[in-house]
A and B are shown apart, each in its own frame.
Chain A
């Protein structure tokens, strides 16, 4: 969105010194696109009622949306309802989409606002153990990782626990940045926060996950 995006340009120098966001170092795939055609094609197809285009969006984005929604709500079922309500809102609003952001950023903004509202109604009282790592063949469903390596299941469990224990604002930022591959600008736009704020939340979240993994890395080293 050119010009006037709230929160991105007003980085507070007292929190972090430089608001410049030139280059990204992302290991996961880019957030935008995902093998889909350009936004104008997507929007035109949706407005024309192209079911295969809608199905493609559903199938490409819903997993990531479930994961992001889970930052704010306490159960997987709740996250699924948030994603469902988000898509219903998208269906209702696509004719009014003005293209001031990417379609994906727009969809995620609806998702985050829907999830926040729902999260407020819930009490986040579930224990961390509510997180259960995936079991069985479902793990194989995601494509090959960029490094061609599979994350050890122990590390996966530790990351899952660490993420589940994060405050929602940190969790959604690290989910969008490091799991979904958003740029910092996209995260600022989706969450309507400043670049400096985004970076502080991301740093805290990464530090927590790092602390959780430190013991694991040390134990791997010892056993080598």
Chain B
């Protein structure tokens, strides 16, 4: 099992969540996060943040004018074709 300092651990959170750590790293990560309240909290906050980002709605859609122009361009391609 690999040992990490708190600073090292926080830098590895995204790699851990992507399952991109090798086994000794992952085991070391999990052991540290389970026993260190501060790092455990940081990991939770990252998960919370990712969940919140996944709920962030798109602000806008394509305007009707642009959509109409694009549909016309697509039709014109066929007629040219």
Residues of A within 8 A of B (CB): 16-28, 49, 51, 54-55, 58, 62-64, 66-67, 76, 80, 83-84, 87-88, 91-92, 133-134, 138-139, 141-142, 145-147, 149-151, 155-156, 159-160, 163, 174, 178-179, 181, 184, 195, 199, 202-203, 206, 209-210, 213-214, 217
| List of B residues within 8 angstroms of A210 by Cβ | 45-46, 48-49
Task: Please tell me if the beta carbons of A63 and B69 are within 8 angstroms of each other in the complex.
Answer: no
Residues of B within 8 A of A (CB): 11, 13-15, 17-22, 25, 45-46, 48-63, 66-67, 69-71, 73-75, 77-78, 81
A87 to B67, CA, bound (A): 10
With contacts A28-B54, A87-B70 taken as known, whether A17 is within 8 angstroms of B25 at the C-beta atoms is yes
**Which of B13, B18, B52, B77 is within 8 Å of A24, CB to CB?**
B18
With contacts A21-B20, A199-B18 taken as known, whether A27 is within 8 angstroms of B62 at the C-beta atoms is no
Task: Please tell me if the beta carbons of A16 and B20 are within 8 angstroms of each other in the complex.
Answer: yes
Closest-CB distance, A143 to chain B (whole angstroms): 9
A133 to B60, CA, bound (A): 10
With contacts A25-B18, A25-B19 taken as known, whether A51 is within 8 angstroms of B75 at the C-beta atoms is yes
Closest-CB distance, B5 to chain A (whole angstroms): 15
16 contacts between A and B (CB under 8 A): A17-B25, A20-B20, A24-B18, A64-B58, A76-B59, A80-B63, A91-B77, A134-B59, A141-B61, A147-B51, A149-B55, A159-B52, A160-B56, A163-B56, A178-B50, A203-B11
Task: Please tell me if the beta carbons of A55 and B71 are within 8 angstroms of each other in the complex.
Answer: yes
| List of B residues within 8 angstroms of A195 by Cβ | 20
| List of A residues within 8 angstroms of B49 by Cβ | 206, 209-210, 213
A179 to B58, CA, bound (A): 9
Task: Please tell me if the beta carbons of B55 and A150 are within 8 angstroms of each other in the complex.
Answer: yes
Task: Please tell me if the beta carbons of A76 and B53 are within 8 angstroms of each other in the complex.
Answer: no
Task: Please tell me if the beta carbons of B62 and A62 are within 8 angstroms of each other in the complex.
Answer: yes
Closest-CB distance, A166 to chain B (whole angstroms): 12
A26 to B53, CA, bound (A): 11
Closest-CB distance, B49 to chain A (whole angstroms): 4
Closest-CB distance, A51 to chain B (whole angstroms): 6
Q: Find the A residue at minimum CB distance from B77.
A: A91
A127 to B55, CA, bound (A): 25
Give 10 A-B pairs besides A25-B17, A67-B59 with Cβ atoms closer than 8 angstroms.
A18-B21, A18-B22, A25-B18, A27-B51, A49-B75, A58-B62, A66-B59, A160-B59, A206-B13, A210-B45
With contacts A16-B15, A17-B21, A202-B14 taken as known, whether A147 is within 8 angstroms of B63 at the C-beta atoms is no
Closest-CB distance, A8 to chain B (whole angstroms): 12
